[in-house]
Amino acid sequence: MSVKHAISRGVELGRSVIQLGLKPAGRLAAKFRGERLRVGQPARTVQPQTFLPVRYRYFRMSLRGLAAQLQSGGFRRFGGSGSPRNRAVFLAFGLGVGLIEKQLDDDRRSAATCQEIQAVFTKKKYCSPLKCFTSGYKLEDYVIGKQIGKGSNAAVYEAVAPSSVPRDRESDRCSLNDQPSEDGEVATGSLRSPSSSLGIYPLAVKMMWNFGAGSSSEAILRSMSQELVPAGPLAMKQEKEEQIALNGYFGEVPKRVSAHPNVIRVFRAFTADVPLLPGAQEEYPDVLPARLNPDGLGNNRTLFLVMKNYPCTLRQYLEVNVPSRREGSLMVLQLLEGVDHLYRQGIAHRDLKSDNVLLEFDSEGCPRLVITDFGCCLAQSDSSLQLPFNTMWVNRGGNSCLMAPEVVTAVPGQGVVINYSKADAWAVGTISYEIFGQANPFYGAGGLDSRNFQDVQLPALPACVSADMQLVVKLLLRRNPNKRPSARVAANMLHLSLWGRCALANKDSAGMKKLADWLLCQSAVVLLRGCGPSGSSVEAELQRCFLSNLDLEDLRLAVSFLMYGREQGRASIMSL
């Protein structure tokens, strides 16, 4: 065997022994890091070897010290006995350990860089652009306008605090005592223009339908506790909130999610008597109480939520608009950022669809998306997102068509648990088809069934969609959740694709150093500029979300996915 070949084998042996964690290497690494292998004092204290200068003896307790000893021993053996092959392997083993130690040093520096950047941007809390108000804990505090939405469990009306209604638009008001008008409803699928009443009614009041919760405030809040997940800290009167104890899977008190630009914010939550609002008799007569409709089945009181008023839902927007390639990527990225924010706080939405995503525009016309309607969410107190599935009576979520495969195929039984940690990310993958102008492949009679579809059956996205975006959607829709990236990793992939392509030359240590340098530059740009490259506040919010959630392992995994996808793309082109 040649010396060159022996050195090569020694380096490989050094890498494999340390990285695979074999028992002898584990004992050596633990020994030289000063870790105790057993309880009690060691029988013999390891003394520093004389071949190291005094100022370098601390290396004795690290992988670097192990590498130095092996390399020194290899040099000494060149002058002693033993075959050239054994001496070369011994020296190369030390070189391999030294290379691993250098890689660990690079990783520590990269991780420290990510932590420092994360600390800077985490301190900058997101604040809603809507001005705070101090009152609003009663329905009488608001002027109610037209109906702007209706679902299976609630109706939504535009509203405004009386003090903020312009005096010259008094005739546009609709008080609680007004009778419903024939034109009081906004047609489904239509978008309100900038000249509509959105500027007059900046708020939206969501009235929940109460069939079986009773009419007491405690019973209503206990039954509809999930709706309070996106509520702000001042959403409810403090004295009332302290008296309410909510039981079941949702803990003793309603779990709250912190503010995020891509998650709806509930400013006020209160119970009140059900009023006769515009369109009530025509749109939802059965849910009205008997005092308003003799044939109604609803209770006298219900829950009201006050939020910001948005122009339209994502579904309504996509019915009349096809986003550009970049806008579509930014929209998917916003959904992933919102889902990741929920996941980090132990919340699974479980009913993510284009109807439950609201949309507005920033000053540059870029769509801003927010996730809403948390009535089906899972918000356990332990934040595990694992739901015991003992019987079929356990609620698995909302829209069955967009349930992730691991959720919809779960069979109830003793000890069965459904993991929702990647279920919302899967739903984002399905919505991506709608964003890029195609039908959702899991809707309709001829659509795919998440129970039994195969990955190869997924339709291709339009050719104009970037290869990186197509890769992200393909990965998000993998049947096996263990092979599916998390929302954070998928979001990192899109961030790197949109703004960090120059930092993806390779995935070795030099590439990671280049990526760390790019992160530092990106942080400085975001801090100084305050907006995205095109002047968009949406892009600035996305970049802040990315930088405030930096994690070296998630970043490295995103780079690996992107590099793998590009290698596969090059291979397919070469085969043509």
Closest CA to 560 of 456, 455, 490: 490
Question: Which DSSP helix (H) or strand (E) runs through 308?
Answer: strand 301-308
Q: 356: which residues sit within 8 A by CB, 6+ positions away?
A: 313, 349, 371, 372, 373
Burial state string for 438-447 with b = 16 or more CB within 10 A and e = fewer than 16: eebbbbeeee
- Of 406, 312, 390, the residue nearest 350 (C-alpha): 406
Residue 487: Cβ-neighbour burial (10 angstroms; 0-12, 13-18, 19+)? buried
Q: For residues 556 and 527, what is the distance between their CA atoms, to the nearest angstrom?
A: 24
> How many CB atoms within 10 Å of residue 525?
14
Rounded Cα distance, 108 and 114, in Å: 10
Residue with tokens 């760390």: 516
Could you tell me the CA-to-CA distances from 405 to 37, 245, 411, 426, 486 in Å, in that order? 44, 34, 12, 9, 15
Backbone φ and ψ of 510, nearest 5°: -65, -40
Active-site residue identified among 340, 351, 424, 554: 351
AA letter at 556: R
Question: 292 with 259: CB under 8 angstroms?
Answer: no
Residue 507 DSSP code: S
Q: Which amino acid type is present at position 211?
A: F
Q: Quote the CA–CA distance of 170 and 461 in Å, as a whole number.
A: 49
Contact indicator for 266, 292 with CB cutoff of 8 Å: no
Instruction: Assess whether 351 carries a catalytic annotation.
Output: yes
What residues pair up with 363 in beta bridges, in sequence order? none
Which sequence positions are flagged as catalytic?
A: 351
